[in-house]
C-alpha cells in the first residue's frame, strides 16, 4: 500500500490562493492525525494572473507535471479583467479535463446543520445528493480547446455538442458504482439519468447507453428525468433524489442550483475523475475582490480536499487516506452542529483562517 501521494497544487487566482492554503493545511492535519500516509505537494503556476504576466496560462511542462501526480488540487482560476481576444476566460483547467479524460465530475450537495437552507420544508435538512456531471464532452467540448467553435464573421457562432459512446459508457458505469457505494453507506443508492432525450438525438443516445449500462446493475434502482423537470424538482423535492448523471452543461447549471439550496457555493465541493488521475477543486469562482482579506469561505476547498483523500485511498489501497477523509467530514459536521463554524459568507463572524483553525482543532480530536 502506497504511503506517499504526490499532489499537483495549482493555487490559481483570487481567493483560490486563500482556500487552497486552507485545504492543504486541513488535509495535512488529517493525514498526520491518522498516521501512516503522507502528502507531497508540488506547486504548479497557472491561471489568469500567470497569463497576464507571461502570456501563458500554465507554466512550461505544467500539464505534464500535473498528469504525472497522483492527484491535482486546484484553488480557483479567473480574473474579470484578463481575457482571451475573443472575450472568453483563461481556463487551463478545462484543457486539463480534456487532456487527462476527467470525465466524471462529482458534485456532492449536502445540507449541514445550522448552515443556511433555502427551502422551508423540514425535509430540506436531510438533502444529501450527488450530481454526476460529464466533464469532457457535451457543450463544453467546444470550450476546452480553442478552435473547436466555428465563428462566422461577426454574424454567427456555432458550438459543437459532443457525446461519444466510449466516454458515456464510462460515465454511466461510474454513476452506477457510485450509487451502489452510497447505498452501502446508508443512502438510497438510486441513479437518475437527466437528459433532454425527447428533443435531441444526442440526448437520446446518452439515455440509450444509460439503459445498456443499467442492465449490468440490476441491483441499483434507475430512473429518468428531463433536465427542465429536474430543475423544477430540485426546488420542489430534492430529498427524493440520490445520484443524478447528466451532460456537461446541464450538470454545470444543476449543480449550482442545487448548491444554492444548502447554503451556496462556499460549500460546493467538486471532484473530476478520470481513469488515471483526478482533479479536485471548490466549484466556486475566484472572487478577486476579497482575495487576501480573510473573508473567503474555505469549506468547499476543504471538503474537496476530503474527496481527494478518499480518492487516494481507492487509488493506493491505503485505507488511512479514507479515514483521514472521514475525519475532515466529521469535523465539519460536528463544527456546524455545535454552531462553532460560522463563515462570513453566511453572515457569521469567522473568516478563512478561523474556519480552517476550527476544522483542524476538531479533526485532531477524533
pLDDT tens for each residue of 223-271: 999 999 999 999 999 999 999 999 999 999 999 999 999 988 899 999 9
How many other CB atoms are there within 10 angstroms of residue 289's CB atom?
A: 10
Confidence at residue 319, expressed as pLDDT on a 0 to 100 scale: 94
> Which residues does 109 contact at the CB level (< 8 Å), separation at least 6?
127, 128, 129, 130, 131, 238, 255, 258, 259, 261, 262, 268
Q: Catalytic pick from 103, 141, 217, 311?
A: 141
Q: Catalytic pick from 128, 173, 233, 256?
A: 256
* Residues constituting the chain: 366
β-strands 4-12, 38-43: how paired?
parallel
Equal fold, 1-102+275-366 vs 117-261: yes
C-alpha cell recorded at residue 289 = 475582490
C-alpha cell recorded at residue 194 = 437527466
What is 157-173 written as a DSSP string?
EE---B--HHHHHHHHH
> CA-to-CA distance for 72 and 316, rounded, in angstroms?
15
C-alpha cell recorded at residue 187 = 443512502
Confidence at residue 225, expressed as pLDDT on a 0 to 100 scale: 98
Compute the radius of gyration of the chain from its Cα atoms.
Answer: 20
Confidence at residue 147, expressed as pLDDT on a 0 to 100 scale: 60
**How far is CA 349 from its chain centroid?**
26
Query: Do 127 and 238 touch, CB atoms closer than 8 A?
Result: yes
C-alpha cell recorded at residue 203 = 440526448
Residue 272's H or E segment, with its range, is strand 271-273
From 16, 9, 73, select the one nearest 48 (Cα to Cα): 16
Assess whether 211 carries a catalytic annotation. Answer: no
Confidence at residue 318, expressed as pLDDT on a 0 to 100 scale: 93
From 72, 62, 65, 58, select the one nearest 20 (Cα to Cα): 72
Assess whether 252 carries a catalytic annotation. Answer: yes
Only one residue has cell 456555432, namely: 158
What are the sequence ranges of the domains in the chain? 1-102+275-366, 117-261
Exposed e or buried b per residue across 172-198, where buried means at least 16 C-beta atoms within 10 angstroms of its C-beta = bebbbebbeebbeeeebbbbbbbbbbe
Assess whether 170 carries a catalytic annotation. Answer: no
Only one residue has cell 486546484, namely: 74
Assess whether 228 carries a catalytic annotation. Answer: yes
215: burial class by Cβ within 10 Å (0-12, 13-18, 19+)? exposed
Confidence at residue 298, expressed as pLDDT on a 0 to 100 scale: 97
Assess whether 154 carries a catalytic annotation. Answer: no
Q: Catalytic pick from 252, 310, 311, 334?
A: 252
Which whole-number Å values give the CA distances from 31 to 63, 176, 221, 299, in the listed order? 27, 29, 35, 18
Confidence at residue 146, expressed as pLDDT on a 0 to 100 scale: 58
Confidence at residue 144, expressed as pLDDT on a 0 to 100 scale: 62
pLDDT digits (tens, 9 = 90+) for 12-69: 999 999 999 999 999 999 999 999 899 999 999 999 999 999 999 999 999 999 999 9
Topology of domain 117-261, CATH = Isopropylmalate Dehydrogenase (3.40.718)
> CA-to-CA distance for 294 and 19, rounded, in angstroms?
10
Q: Catalytic pick from 50, 103, 170, 196?
A: 196
Q: What is the value of pTM for the model shown?
A: 0.93
Q: By three-state DSSP, how is residue 321 classified? A: helix
Q: Catalytic pick from 228, 240, 275, 289?
A: 228
> CA-to-CA distance for 77 and 91, rounded, in angstroms?
7
Topology of domain 1-102+275-366, CATH = Isopropylmalate Dehydrogenase (3.40.718)
Q: Which residues of the chain have pLDDT under 50?
A: none
Confidence at residue 141, expressed as pLDDT on a 0 to 100 scale: 81
Amino acid at each position: 500500500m502506497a504511503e506517499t501521494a504526490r499532489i499537483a497544487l495549482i493555487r490559481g487566482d483570487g481567493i483560490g490562493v486563500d482556500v487552497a492554503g486552507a485545504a492543504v493545511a486541513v488535509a495535512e492535519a488529517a493525514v498526520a492525525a491518522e498516521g501512516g500516509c503522507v502528502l507531497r505537494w508540488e506547486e504548479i503556476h497557472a491561471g489568469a494572473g500567470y497569463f497576464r504576466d507571461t502570456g501563458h496560462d500554465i507554466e512550461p511542462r505544467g500539464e505534464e507535471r500535473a498528469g504525472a501526480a497522483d492527484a491535482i488540487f486546484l484553488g480557483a482560476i479567473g480574473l474579470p479583467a484578463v481575457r482571451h481576444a475573443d472575450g472568453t476566460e483563461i481556463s487551463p483547467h478545462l484543457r486539463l479535463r480534456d487532456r487527462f479524460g476527467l470525465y466524471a465530475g462529482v458534485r456532492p450537495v449536502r445540507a449541514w446543520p445550522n448552515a443556511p437552507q433555502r427551502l422551508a420544508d423540514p425535509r430540506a435538512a436531510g438533502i444529501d445528493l450527488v450530481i454526476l456531471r460529464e466533464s469532457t464532452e457535451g457543450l463544453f467540448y467546444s470550450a476546452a480547446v480553442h478552435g473547436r467553435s466555428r465563428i462566422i464573421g461577426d454574424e454567427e457562432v456555432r458550438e459543437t455538442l459532443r457525446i461519444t459512446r466510449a466516454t458515456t459508457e464510462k460515465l454511466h458505469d461510474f454513476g452506477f458504482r457510485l450509487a451502489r457505494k452510497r447505498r452501502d453507506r446508508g443512502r438510497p443508492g438510486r441513479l437518475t439519468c437527466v437528459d433532454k432525450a425527447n428533443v435531441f438525438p444526442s440526448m437520446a443516445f446518452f439515455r440509450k447507453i444509460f439503459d445498456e449500462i443499467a442492465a449490468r446493475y440490476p441491483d441499483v434502482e434507475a430512473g429518468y428525468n428531463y433536465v427542465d423537470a429536474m430543475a423544477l424538482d430540485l426546488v420542489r423535492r430534492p430529498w427524493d433524489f440520490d445520484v443524478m448523471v447528466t451532460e456537461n452543461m446541464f450538470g454545470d447549471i444543476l449543480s449550482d442550483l442545487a448548491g444554492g439550496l444548502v447554503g451556496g457555493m462556499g460549500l460546493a465541493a467538486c471532484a473530476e475523475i478520470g481513469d488515471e488521475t483526478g482533479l479536485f477543486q471548490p466549484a466556486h469562482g475566484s472572487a478577486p475582490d476579497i482575495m487576501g482579506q480573510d473573508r473567503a469561505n474555505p469549506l468547499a476547498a476543504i471538503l474537496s480536499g476530503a474527496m481527494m483523500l478518499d480518492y487516494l485511498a481507492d487509488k493506493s489501497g491505503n485505507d488511512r487516506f479514507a479515514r483521514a477523509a472521514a475525519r475532515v467530514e466529521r469535523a465539519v459536521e460536528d463544527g456546524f452542529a455545535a454552531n462553532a463554524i460560522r463563515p462570513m459568507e453566511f453572515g457569521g463572524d469567522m473568516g478563512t483562517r478561523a474556519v480552517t483553525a476550527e476544522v483542524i482543532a476538531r479533526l485532531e480530536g477524533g
